[in-house]
Structure 1
């Protein structure tokens, strides 16, 4: 699993971005990738990545 920080998350629209600690790459995260979790900007998380319709997405996101 990768670790990172929530860069931005719009709860009303159901998406945001998480920045990978190691590569500093931003990954799109959809509310469905949170498994019922509520996140805010700067939350520390761990996540997997998966190919999505428009690129690589963060999935299985969990707070750490």
Structure 2
């Protein structure tokens, strides 16, 4: 005759599991009864058109229809302005130029942006505070001033 595989320890663990399940079911029933007494359930929150949480649903007549194709994901490419297309030659002032190192910076007179200028992009010799004409070209770190002429 074979011995039972059920040991004392296994039966005790099974009793503990059963007891935990029963306690959990009792707590669940108590929560349900409490929610019915309070007349509740889960309260709903809505988001109004300004992004604030409110307890009243929004008016469906004010809903705005948006097409999925109109949504732009990411950063849109910068379009050139009209003046950039028609007049590639810009005017500016040399704010800094180091002849020993061969580079400097030019401040655009229209938008006060500072552009890098290398000695290889010069047509005339320039010094600090000179007024110059230049064109912009995309470089490794941004826009560079090229074909720089002294005015």
TM range (shorter): over 0.9
Would you tell me which structure has more strand in proportion to its own residues? 1
TM-score (norm 2): 0.41
TM-score (norm 1): 0.94
How many residue pairs get aligned? The number is 63
Long gaps (5+) in structure 1: none
Long gaps (5+) in structure 2: 1-88
Distance 2:117 2:145 in 1: 5
Aligned Cα RMSD in Å?
0.6
- Work out which structure has the larger RCO, using CA pairs closer than 8 Å and 6 or more positions apart in sequence: 1
Deviations 1:2-33 (A, max 9, x none): 00000000000000000000000000000011
Would you tell me which structure has more helix in proportion to its own residues? 2
Runs of 4 or more consecutive aligned structure 1 residues displaced over 4 Å after TM superposition: none
Q: Which has the larger radius of gyration?
A: 2
